[in-house]
Amino acid sequence: MKGEGLHYEGIIIRPPSEAQSIIIQATVGCSHNKCTFCGTYKGVRFRIKDESTIEKDIVTASREFHFLKRVFLCDGDALIIPQKRLVWILSLIHKHMPWIQRVGLYGNAKSILMKSVEELRELKELGLGIIYLGVESGDPQVLKNIRKGVSPDRMIAAGNRVKEAGITLSVTVLLGIAGVEHSIEHARSTGWILSEIDPDYVGALTLMILPNTPLGEDYRKGLFKMPDQKKLLLELREMLAHTELSRGLFMSNHASNYLPLKVRFPRGKSEALRIIDAAIQGMVPLKPEWLRAL
């Protein structure tokens, strides 16, 4: 939740689950900012905000939002902040807002692996309760195509490190990101990587092609073909069929998706597959195009 008097620059994004969180912008932009599908921070040079601005925002938030219980640190990859300063930020939040129950932030594989398990545990002790990791795909070629800058093995190592530190892990994957030709391979590989990471939460989003991105340009030129509704449902089914989570929650209820699902593993998997099969056969209504959004 934004507030009067807080210092925000550019576009502020946060996960849907952080809708009722105090949003503190600790960084501007994304430390990677090369993914071909993302248009959020194009033209924005990444930087960590100065300490005085961050402190002012935390103090202001403590006065305005004493009724909110969570904080989300943005922008795109706040975990890249060096350990000493991140410890300072979390300590400041605890000092001025001791009632806060959880702090969350985005982290990519690089920033996670730059932190040791011990450092992540230190952050957890200071209130970091959840890290959101964009996995997108488990297919190495797809990750290369979208310039994710990381291999599946490194992605798995990053996810496992968060879990080892005892921090809740939420990952996102993208339906449609492999295009038509490699849709099924992407789905199976993504199910595999999710099983290897075993996150607490999985959010499956459907790719929304943006014109200000390299992928949007490829789409305009006919070099990238987006799967249609049926193919996206088949992709979702294949991904879910190849995913095994110990007790995680798999969700496709983002605004971008045609078929909203909330699947508690392991017991809910078979029923979810049945619903997808019914949707493929036209027996379950899908979200109309005009209702879909980022």
* Cβ neighbours of residue 268 closer than 8 Å, sequence gap 6 or more: none
- Domain ranges, ordered by start, for the chain: 135-148+167-288+290-294
Q: And the tokens for 160?
A: 């496992």
Say what the pLDDT of residue 1 is: 55
Q: Which amino acid is at 64?
A: E
How far is it, in rounded angstroms, from Cα 78 to Cα 108?
9
Write phi, then psi, for 55 (nearest 5 degrees): -65, -40
pLDDT of amino acid 137: 98
- The reported pTM is 0.95
Report the phi/psi class of residue 15: left, alpha or beta, with left for phi > 0 and alpha for psi in -120 to 50. Answer: beta
Decide if 97 contacts 130 (C-beta within 8 A). Answer: no
What's the rounded Cα separation, in Å, for the pair 26 and 16? 19
Q: What local confidence, expressed as pLDDT, does residue 293 receive?
A: 85
* Local confidence pLDDT in tens for the 294 residues of the chain: 554 589 999 889 999 999 999 999 999 999 999 999 999 998 899 999 999 999 999 999 999 999 999 999 999 899 999 999 999 999 999 999 999 999 999 999 999 999 999 999 999 999 999 999 999 999 999 999 999 999 999 999 999 999 999 999 999 999 999 999 999 999 999 999 999 999 999 999 999 999 999 999 999 999 999 999 999 999 999 999 999 999 999 999 888 999 999 999 999 999 999 999 999 999 999 999 888 887
Degrees (nearest 5) of the Cα angle 54, 119, 158?
100
- Per-residue confidence (pLDDT) for residue 175, from 0 to 100: 98
The whole-number pLDDT of residue 11 equals 87
pLDDT of residue 4: 56
